[in-house]
Structure 1
């Protein structure tokens, strides 16, 4: 019996072969996934390595990206989330319960701190703050469940004492989560970063930054080596309905081939800019892990390779420059655009008031307003000229 055209368009009697060999893997968009038979339906489990049951669990497109991110990070299992912050929140939601103690670095990514403070107010989570370059300030109690590391830290870019912080956390049997967005899995291996083969338990990465590379996609990842931890995270991932767009996954996958090249170029450009910034009289302090005067420089040097230092550098202006002057400086920049994030082709600038961002007294930081430069793919000579022109406006 001949079917109606409308039915035939939905249930096509003839299809082109599904698989050919291409440079980029095929793109699979799916919410519903069709089971071939009831045996396939009832003999699957959500812990299967590739559970093709519904779009939120994964498709070949999302699993391919997840596998590659795990490989880059040095882990075995990866979950994808709609943003870096979503990935962070997944970890917090999975492992923190009422009365638990969570330790965070004083230079932690601001939205993570805000989220944890919200959990503290609403659910009785106890948030404790430590100095990332002074392991003695990390004093976990029996209630301690999780410690967040960040290498390097947000905005002020201190590289933490990873070795001793991880050792102390392991002695206290505390889960160790690292925000590895700065290192991107390239500056060091979070799952094997010392001669003693020390490892974090969880590595969170904002794929929005270097893996995407275009400044146009939001995504995050949670990587582990331990299957039990992965299953705990995966269960929470499913309960919360966390999923990503297959189109976005394909775009990030496409960018991975050039990620290391971009990271290394931006690192080299930043170091070149760093040398010039250190000579400018308007700044009282230059913050970058490769700068020998920056806090945590020796920790960075012992863990990271010298050409892997990411594309971020911060400066603190001398105290005589007030907020209006710094705003004038930022507004005078041409190539540097005002905006958050980093890792894309366009260089960015953002100004911060450290007094509003820190809990502890940070004696290693000078008094003054801070500006962070995020170096893109422009030629460093042009970026230096752009900053030099903007600095001239401070005296007008």
Structure 2
């Protein structure tokens, strides 16, 4: 007689406890089962002392949250489906109609679009400030300012701001600050405690640190995930309540992939950093290039601030941008990008494949602030794990396309 479905669903066997392996187990659930009604009613989803529903956490997501909190130097962490979702969660938790949020002029593009779109429709205003001029942030903070976003370095153009000064201004005005630390990956500097070496100042950084785990923590270009780290319990609970009401959740298999990649994070970050610096220095000597934008290179905007945050021998991501001489029309720069073979055209970074993307920076910047001084076309290069010599040869071959050669 074949088994009944009930026998398969309610099978009595339970595997023995004590299994241990290098990689943690993967738990996937929407429904979580309780022993009795008293347990169901007593369980508190706001803290990691039990399980209530898949959206509120499983052993797999709890484990990843704790490891990311450690990576960032925080005490609590929330996981969301993308880096942009982390930004959205912070905005929704902390802002209401009549409030104002301040964004750096070189802010991550979708964050600006969110302020211009959803936040504006909800009656939340925004201003953009020059992140390289702390006095500009100071003068823009007003009675309605509730949140200031920080980025280090700036999206695409990679200016490294005076983070400690910006964070100090926010604290002095009693305004919450949130830092996008995706570039630093929790390795180049600590977003909560700024400074390098013996100059680290505890509590000198942001109140909230968000991270697109899509990038270096994933490392494979195949996972979308974000995190929100905090140190203050009250702030964490406020963010978590919004997190619950919006229904954010991440899949167990995605959490597994990030957990699997975390042990190699520092090795990959250092390798991509070293390769990027070598290629950036080589491009500094090319006649086609007007400027190379890389925080760790002297002459790049904010280099001295990078030294303050990361140290003179500190880390930097495998990411930099090049500005072509203005004599090259956008169509010629597009031809350069199309001629690349190892560098592929695509957004994001932190994975094994090197990427290139041309940007129209003037359309992304505030005309009022005038923070973009160049007239040439910019191309951002994200360095993967290929042999740097092969990448240099690819770039050199593609540069020939600028003149139509």
With structure 1 as the length reference, what TM-score do the two structures score?
0.97
Task: Give the match for residue 266 of structure 1.
Answer: 272
Task: Give the match for residue 158 of structure 1.
Answer: 159
5+ residue gaps, structure 1, are: none
Task: Give the match for residue 330 of structure 1.
Answer: 337
Partner Cα distance (2:325, 2:50) in 1: 56
Asked whether the 8 Å contact 1:157–1:289 carries over to 2, the reply is yes
Q: Deviations over 1:343-386 (max 9, x none)?
A: 00000000001111001444563211100000000111111110
Aligned residue pairs, count: 395
Partner Cα distance (1:288, 1:222) in 2: 26
Q: Deviations over 1:288-329 (max 9, x none)?
A: 101211111100011114341101110111111111101100
Asked whether the 8 Å contact 2:164–2:205 carries over to 1, the reply is no
5+ residue gaps, structure 2, are: none
Residue 4 of structure 1 deviates from its aligned partner by: 5.8
With structure 2 as the length reference, what TM-score do the two structures score?
0.95
Task: Give the match for residue 107 of structure 1.
Answer: 106
Q: Of 223, 227, 234, which residue of structure 2 is paired with 1:221?
A: 227
Asked whether the 8 Å contact 1:267–1:307 carries over to 2, the reply is no
Q: Look up the SS of the partner of 2:54 in the other structure.
A: coil
Partner Cα distance (1:122, 1:364) in 2: 29
Q: Deviations over 1:8-27 (max 9, x none)?
A: 10000223225401111111
Task: Give the match for residue 350 of structure 1.
Answer: 357
Matches within 5 A, 1:216-295: 216-295=222-301
Q: Look up the SS of the partner of 2:321 in the other structure.
A: strand
Q: Look up the SS of the partner of 2:56 in the other structure.
A: coil
Partner Cα distance (1:173, 1:119) in 2: 25
Residue 271 of structure 1 deviates from its aligned partner by: 0.7
Q: Look up the SS of the partner of 1:204 in the other structure.
A: strand
Asked whether the 8 Å contact 1:50–1:63 carries over to 2, the reply is no
What is the aligned-residue RMSD (CA, Å)? 1.4
Asked whether the 8 Å contact 2:100–2:124 carries over to 1, the reply is yes
Q: Deviations over 1:188-236 (max 9, x none)?
A: 0111113432021100000000000000000000000011111001100
Task: Give the match for residue 85 of structure 1.
Answer: 84
Q: Deviations over 1:238-264 (max 9, x none)?
A: 000100000000110000000010001
Task: Give the match for residue 137 of structure 1.
Answer: 136
Partner Cα distance (1:274, 1:130) in 2: 28
Asked whether the 8 Å contact 2:332–2:403 carries over to 1, the reply is no
2:388 pairs with 1:380: yes
Task: Give the match for residue 192 of structure 1.
Answer: 193
Q: Deviations over 1:22-72 (max 9, x none)?
A: 111111011101111223212222222244000000000000000000000
In the TM superposition, structure 1's runs of 4+ consecutive aligned residues that sit over 6 Å from their partners are none
